Structure 1
Amino acid sequence: MTIRVFFLCLLGLCTGVLQAAVLEGVGHANIREGNLAQARAEARQAAMRDLALQYEARVSTTDTIENGELTQSYTELSAQAKVRNATIVDEYRRGNLLRVIVRADMAGADASDESMCKAAEASGLRKRVAVTAFPVLRPVQAGSPGLNDAAQELPRALVARLQARYSMEVLGATSLQLFSNLPDAPTAQANPASNHLTNVVQLARELGAQFVVSGVIRDISLADPGAWGSSIADRIKRRFNRVDTRRRFAVELMIFDGFSGSPVLRQRFETLAPWQPSGSGSGGFASAGFSGTEWGRAVSGVMDDMAGAVSKALACQPFMTRITRVAGEHVTLASGATAGLRPGQELSLYRSQRYFDSLQGTPELSDTGATLVLNNVHPDFSNGRMSTEAGQVNIQRDDLAIIW
């Protein structure tokens, strides 16, 4: 008879509710062939493992018992923790042995926390997002001077919410309309003048953005177009609530990857609430008076939901930045301290490739197996040293550095 016995132990203080904490981890690595950058990267990884085990470690043991005797025992040590703002605070070298100390903000890994996903380290960095105009599909539906500027005011309000509440670099490009064929946006077509997704890539390159947020206001019509007539009969009907004075608001939000043009999220948001014309003091779209009306508050709630959807969709995405210069083992990136990068941080290097038979298609990324450890970090760019010669893995300008 075979009996399998399974035990699960939580080490340290993991039996209680874990709170965020700032901890220091120690890592060691051997310096081989004088490659200090590679040793530093390995020591940093070891220190990160030490941090995770300090904060939340789990030991699982499986024993196999046959006829009352222990015949096999398997023990596994694992850790699940969210690491943010990891920084090398001390480095010591003795001969060919390198020791580093890493300090980081630690938080427990809650399986119900969708924002964590798999991007533990990338979640601590600020991804750059460009927000463009949200044109109105049928401008005639506005029918009011206060709503004519919704195409620009909606993305401006979205920019303000993203900047205030979420950890990302937000660039406002609210005067730029990404699509010319609004009914079918964002469908790609062969005609470059239409909704070709290369527009997204070009815009993202010009702004240095990793993602582009855009959309279309699909419906802003009155539930009853005759509800606000100027005749005496119309006024009497409104006075006795005999007409439907509600206005619709339906907007389609779209998020695109700036390096490939591929869609990340496409979601529709809708609301319907009583509306009053601008002459009643409601003011322009997203203005102070606007937020004092029932329809304005309903639309503001939609914009809150849109900002939350953007944050949720991007939280699980890796941090990606372009390579702007390569010289031997030295590489310069298009992102720096404003994105949250710090000296000693390690990024994986990927080749971006297109093929002659699909030049307009999504570029393919291939992992070179090489890494970059940052030495110098400036506000809008950074540079460091590769773990190998660039020529050996063919890393070039416009390839990508990624943190997952």
Structure 2
Amino acid sequence: MSTWPAAPLLLALILALAVGAPAARAVVLEGVGHATVVNGDLDRARSQAREAALRDLALQYEASVSTRDTMENGVLTESRTELAAQARARNVQVVDEQRSGNRLRLVVRADVTDGQGSCQAGSAYRLKKRVAVLGFPLVQPDQARVGQIGDVNTALPEQIQARLRASQGLQVLSATQSGLFEDPVDAPTRQLSSNQLTNVVALARELGAQFVVAGVVRDVGISDPAAWNTSLWAGLKRGIGASDRSRRFVVDLMVFDGLSGSPVYQERFRAAGDWNAEPGSSTGFASAGFLKTDYGRAVSGAVDRMASAIDAALACQPFMTRVVRVDDRSITLASGATAGLRPGDELHLYRSGRHWDALDQAPELNDAEATVTLDRVHPDVSSGTLGQGGQGAPELNIQRDDIAIIW
């Protein structure tokens, strides 16, 4: 990692760990980061070393250096060097980890592109937001008979989950047996006038998710059903390439904010390809036989794009978690080390409430003008103390189900 002697150094780094943005000027780089293991806390040291390695990546890719000198009466009184890097890292992988005593060395590899125009997510970029991926109902189940892909309603979201987990930027919760839409034909349904989905909030609370990913499989139909019957003539036409074997794939993907039920992202994804699998050679969506077909490979590419779109849509969102316990100045939160929280992190507190005449509406958030600084962090919960001041949580009216946010 580069060092700059003598002059003060201001490092402004914008490094978005979103898998979703289209690659521009992408190069594969390796970065090296070091950290000291304090009191045996290897996880914290590993996180610090990873961040240092990502900074190294960004500086290797593109950095601008500016020097500002202050002169008084012809005498140099101050010299300030500012170093800025703007980059976007995709597909981050740890390729080497070595520990020597209390010194940890980490090497990461990533696809690095220009970060100009990307959001500056601040401290929230290093935290893993909880995302629940629900089942994707199939609008026309009869279409799934060819290739026996009736499991697409659960297998497709499972494929999306696997890709999101591989990106390591989100906490992914599996809920493929849960559904969001009573009638997928007209989904999304049950919306309020404010364009919020009423059942998202309850489902997100039940699953402990900040965001909910849902979808509807609109079309997996083949263009010419007769091309796949079992007659000798149909088999002969397939053999000489005289039949239309193309197949469609159309999916509506939606991402909702779990606190308000409001849509964060929505898009329709399409793909098509030849269903060049003989009868009986494919048994299930994303099975080995399915993925060998031209259609399967086209669908796999569409699933890649879906996962990338989810990552990109959530990259700039703040990290939010619920207050689960209040004891005077001690606040317990529903997120911990698995989300990337560490002792010393400071979160802003917001009061969550509803008006008596609009109980079915999303809760309103009001700034409590208070913060909580974490001093104890466990895998799934953390706790800390209210910021300096004479008031405790009761006086500030901080309660269970209020929200803590890192921007």
- What is the TM-score normalised by the length of structure 1? 0.72
In the TM superposition, 1:222-241 aligns within 5 A as 222-241=222-241
Structure 2 residue aligned with 1:90 = none
Give distance in 2, aligned partners of 1:79 and 1:354. Answer: 46
- 1:355 counterpart letter in structure 2: H
Structure 2 residue aligned with 1:72 = none
Structure 2 residue aligned with 1:399 = 402
Q: Could you report, residue by residue, the CA deviation over 1:310-349 in whole angstroms, capped at 9, with x for unpaired residues?
A: 1111111111000001111110000011111111110011
Provide closer, same or farther for how the CA distance between residues 260 and 196 of structure 1 changes in structure 2, counting only shifts above 3 A. Answer: closer
In the TM superposition, 1:343-362 aligns within 5 A as 343-362=343-362
Question: Could you tell me how far 1:206 is from its partner in structure 2?
Answer: 1.1
**Is the Cα contact below 8 Å between 1:374 and 1:384 reproduced in 2?**
yes
Give distance in 2, aligned partners of 1:346 and 1:390. Answer: 16
Question: Could you tell me how far 1:114 is from its partner in structure 2?
Answer: 6.9
- 1:128 counterpart letter in structure 2: R
**Is the Cα contact below 8 Å between 1:282 and 1:293 reproduced in 2?**
no
Corresponding residue to 1:164 among 166, 171, 179: 166
Provide closer, same or farther for how the CA distance between residues 342 and 189 of structure 1 changes in structure 2, counting only shifts above 3 A. Answer: closer
SS at match of 1:159: helix
Provide closer, same or farther for how the CA distance between residues 189 and 198 of structure 1 changes in structure 2, counting only shifts above 3 A. Answer: closer
Gaps of 5+ in 2: 1-6, 13-28, 37-54, 71-78, 87-105
Percent of aligned pairs with the same amino acid: 49
Give distance in 2, aligned partners of 1:221 and 1:189. Answer: 29
**Is the Cα contact below 8 Å between 1:10 and 1:58 reproduced in 2?**
no
Structure 2 residue aligned with 1:133 = 135
**Is the Cα contact below 8 Å between 2:139 and 2:216 reproduced in 1?**
yes
Provide closer, same or farther for how the CA distance between residues 155 and 345 of structure 1 changes in structure 2, counting only shifts above 3 A. Answer: same
In the TM superposition, 1:2-401 aligns within 5 A as 112-113=114-115, 117-144=119-146, 146-189=148-191, 197-276=197-276, 279-387=279-387, 388=389, 389-401=392-404
**Is the Cα contact below 8 Å between 2:277 and 2:289 reproduced in 1?**
no
Give distance in 2, aligned partners of 1:255 and 1:129. Answer: 9
Question: Could you tell me how far 1:189 is from its partner in structure 2?
Answer: 4.4
Give distance in 1, aligned partners of 2:65 and 2:397. Answer: 41
Deviates more, 1:143-152 or 1:224-233: 224-233
Q: Could you report, residue by residue, the CA deviation over 1:46-66 in whole angstroms, capped at 9, with x for unpaired residues?
A: xxxxxx9xx989768799xxx
**Is the Cα contact below 8 Å between 1:219 and 1:249 reproduced in 2?**
yes
Question: Could you tell me how far 1:167 is from its partner in structure 2?
Answer: 2.0
Provide closer, same or farther for how the CA distance between residues 277 and 18 of structure 1 changes in structure 2, counting only shifts above 3 A. Answer: closer
Give distance in 2, aligned partners of 1:403 and 1:265. Answer: 21
Deviates more, 1:356-365 or 1:284-293: 356-365
Give distance in 2, aligned partners of 1:81 and 1:354. Answer: 43
Give distance in 1, aligned partners of 2:303 and 2:337. Answer: 29
**Is the Cα contact below 8 Å between 2:376 and 2:384 reproduced in 1?**
yes
Q: Could you report, residue by residue, the CA deviation over 1:8-51 in whole angstroms, capped at 9, with x for unpaired residues?
A: x996899xx99675689xxxxxxxxxxxxxxxxxxxxxxxxxxx
Q: Could you report, residue by residue, the CA deviation over 1:144-173 in whole angstroms, capped at 9, with x for unpaired residues?
A: 362111101111111112112232111111
Q: What RMSD in Å do the two structures reach over aligned CA positions? A: 3.8
- 2:135 counterpart letter in structure 1: A
Give distance in 1, aligned partners of 2:249 and 2:371. Answer: 48
SS at match of 1:121: helix
Q: Could you report, residue by residue, the CA deviation over 1:185-214 in whole angstroms, capped at 9, with x for unpaired residues?
A: 113347xxxx98232111111111111111
Give distance in 2, aligned partners of 1:386 and 1:57. Answer: 39
- 1:390 counterpart letter in structure 2: A
**Is the Cα contact below 8 Å between 1:278 and 1:284 reproduced in 2?**
no
Q: Could you report, residue by residue, the CA deviation over 1:112-153 in whole angstroms, capped at 9, with x for unpaired residues?
A: 427951212111011111111001011112223621111011
- 1:220 counterpart letter in structure 2: V
Provide closer, same or farther for how the CA distance between residues 13 and 325 of structure 1 changes in structure 2, counting only shifts above 3 A. Answer: closer
SS at match of 2:213: strand
**Is the Cα contact below 8 Å between 1:115 and 1:316 reproduced in 2?**
no
Question: Could you tell me how far 1:358 is from its partner in structure 2?
Answer: 2.5
